[in-house]
């Protein structure tokens, strides 16, 4: 075994075939363009590899606590890779629009939208076909070759990371333990906190009667939103309108983890949820940076794949969010001082067993 043969460098380093050189008009920056996109695909392969590990751990009816750390590590590794993918755009932007024009038209009709692996990442994470924006009036996979479309559709039929996360969160034991019910305790804490806020507004000497009315109405509206995680009917109505994707039980558990994240048993679960939020954020940032780069390179020209790519990417940065429900939970956070106190038996259950 040697370095070059183990890494198959002869294959990798001979895989760059600039179209401009083949046509007899070599464009210097085409090599950079090829290498950047080839490296993207290699990193996509690694992300799919990490998703496979996470899926394997969460694909069972119960998750071994010893494996949870490995899942967290894999999710955090994906985030690190994504940050690197965003940073690679800085390198690609050393190619000027004039440099790109030297070979751009030779790429037609090839397009980054034809990346099969990126579509697989989206599907495996949990971006459903129903929640995708149409792509110039067509489905997202229209420009993929037929065999690639078949493989992507097969990936869409598998259980997603989002679905596995929902099932795992729904089994969280501490939200209902002994005589403790987080749903009831949280509702009581909300009532006490909002009543205190309303009383403070009513007694405030520098607020006019109208200002007090406006601020009190705003607090009552906030309470109506917060009721969504407590009231079954309200939650069902919001979910029917597309307001939530995850189940209410899973979101209650996630909120419980966010609030009591300092408890030893919840530290890894909190890191996992935080990593999925980071993952979603980096995906959106990559789409946005990519859209800005496209605008910088070609202005308002049609993309090589025949699409209005920049506008589509900007829209997907907002709409193609997989873990948006976790972000929405910040609406439901309350100050530590207002949090319900955990019963001793629940608190002990979440502590290390060797604690004195």
Q: What is the pLDDT of residues 172-220, one digit of tens each?
A: 999 999 889 998 898 888 888 888 888 989 999 998 999 999 988 888 8
pLDDT in tens, 245-288: 999 999 999 999 999 999 999 999 999 999 999 999 999 999 99
User: 328 lies in a domain?
Assistant: no
Which residue's structure tokens are 């079954």?
232
pLDDT category at 303 given cuts 50, 70, 90 is low
Which pLDDT score, from 0 to 100, does residue 104 have?
92
Residue 125 lies in a domain: yes
Is the pLDDT assigned to residue 221 strictly greater than 80?
A: no
Q: Average pLDDT for residues 230-243, to the nearest whole number? A: 82
Q: Is the Cβ–Cβ distance between 314 and 288 less than 8 Å?
A: yes
- Number of Cβ atoms within 10 Å of the Cβ of 218: 12
- Per the structure, the complete domain to which residue 272 belongs is given by 3-174+260-322
CB atoms within 10 A of CB 58: 21
Q: Name residue, tokens 């506008």.
A: 311
pLDDT attached to residue 355: 60
- For residues 146-170, give the mean pLDDT: 94
Q: Which of 11-20, 90-99, 244-253, 301-310 has the lowest mean pLDDT?
A: 301-310
Which CATH number does the domain housing residue 41 bear?
1.20.58.480
Residue 55 placed within a domain: yes
pLDDT given at position 178: 85
User: How large is the average pLDDT for residues 81-96?
Assistant: 96
Residue 308's region, left for phi above 0, alpha for psi from -120 to 50, else beta, is beta
The whole-number pLDDT of residue 304 equals 53
Helix axis angle for 248-259 and 182-203, nearest 10°, is 60
User: Is residue 356, in this structure, part of any structural domain at all?
Assistant: no
| Residue 204 located in a structural domain | no
More confident residue, 83 or 356: 83
Token pair, residue 350, equals 């979440």
35-54 pLDDT, tens digit per residue, is 999 999 999 999 999 999 99
Q: Give pLDDT, residue 300.
A: 63
92 assigned to some structural domain: yes
Residue-level pLDDT at 119: 94
Confidence band, pLDDT 50/70/90 cuts, at residue 102: very high
In whole angstroms, how large is the CA radius of gyration of the chain?
Answer: 25
Cut 0.85: pTM above it: yes
Domain count, the chain: 1
Q: What pLDDT, on a 0 to 100 scale, did the predictor assign at position 302?
A: 58
Is 337 within a domain?
no
**Contact (CB, 8 A) for 323 and 279:** yes
Q: Which residue has the tokens 């690609």?
A: 92
Tell me which long-range contacts 84-89 makes (C-beta under 8 A, separation of at least 24): 84/43, 85/40, 85/43, 85/282, 85/286, 86/282, 86/285, 86/286, 86/289, 88/36, 88/39, 88/40, 89/286, 89/289, 89/290, 89/293
Encode pLDDT of 110-133 as tens digits: 888 889 999 999 999 999 988 888
**Per-residue model confidence (pLDDT) at position 307:** 53
For residue 103, what pLDDT band results from cuts at 50, 70 and 90? very high
**210 occurs within a structural domain:** no
């Amino acid at each position: 075994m040697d370095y070059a043969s183990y890494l198959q460098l002869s294959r990798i380093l001979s895989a760059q075939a600039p179209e401009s050189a083949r046509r007899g008009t070599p464009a210097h920056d085409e090599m950079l363009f090829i290498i950047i996109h080839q490296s993207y695909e290699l990193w996509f392969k690694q992300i799919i590899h990490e998703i496979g590990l996470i899926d394997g751990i969460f694909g069972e009816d119960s998750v071994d606590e010893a494996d949870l750390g490995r899942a967290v590590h894999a999710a955090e590794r994906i985030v690190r890779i994504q940050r690197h993918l965003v940073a690679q755009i800085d390198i690609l932007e050393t190619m000027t629009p004039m440099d790109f024009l030297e070979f751009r038209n030779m790429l037609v009709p090839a397009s980054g939208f034809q990346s099969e692996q990126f579509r697989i990442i989206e599907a495996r994470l949990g971006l459903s076909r129903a929640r995708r924006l149409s792509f110039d009036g067509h489905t997202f996979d229209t420009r993929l070759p037929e065999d690639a479309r078949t493989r992507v559709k097969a990936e869409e039929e598998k259980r997603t990371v989002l679905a596995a996360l929902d099932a795992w969160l729904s089994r969280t034991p501490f939200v209902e333990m002994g005589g403790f019910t987080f749903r009831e305790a949280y509702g009581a804490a909300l009532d006490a906190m909002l009543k205190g806020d309303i009383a403070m507004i009513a007694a405030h000497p520098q607020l006019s009667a109208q200002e007090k009315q406006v601020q009190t109405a705003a607090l009552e509206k906030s309470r109506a939103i917060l009721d969504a995680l407590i009231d079954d009917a309200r939650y069902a109505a919001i979910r029917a309108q597309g307001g939530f994707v995850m189940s209410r039980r899973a979101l209650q558990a996630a909120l419980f983890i966010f609030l009591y994240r300092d408890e030893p048993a919840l530290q890894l679960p909190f890191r996992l949820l935080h990593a999925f939020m980071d993952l979603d954020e980096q995906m959106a940032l990559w789409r946005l940076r990519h859209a800005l780069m496209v605008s910088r390179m070609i202005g308002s020209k049609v993309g090589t794949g025949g699409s209005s790519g920049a506008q589509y990417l900007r829209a997907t940065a907002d709409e193609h969010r997989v873990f948006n429900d976790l972000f929405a939970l910040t609406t439901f956070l309350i100050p530590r001082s207002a949090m319900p106190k955990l019963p001793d038996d629940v608190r002990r259950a979440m502590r290390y067993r060797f604690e004195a």
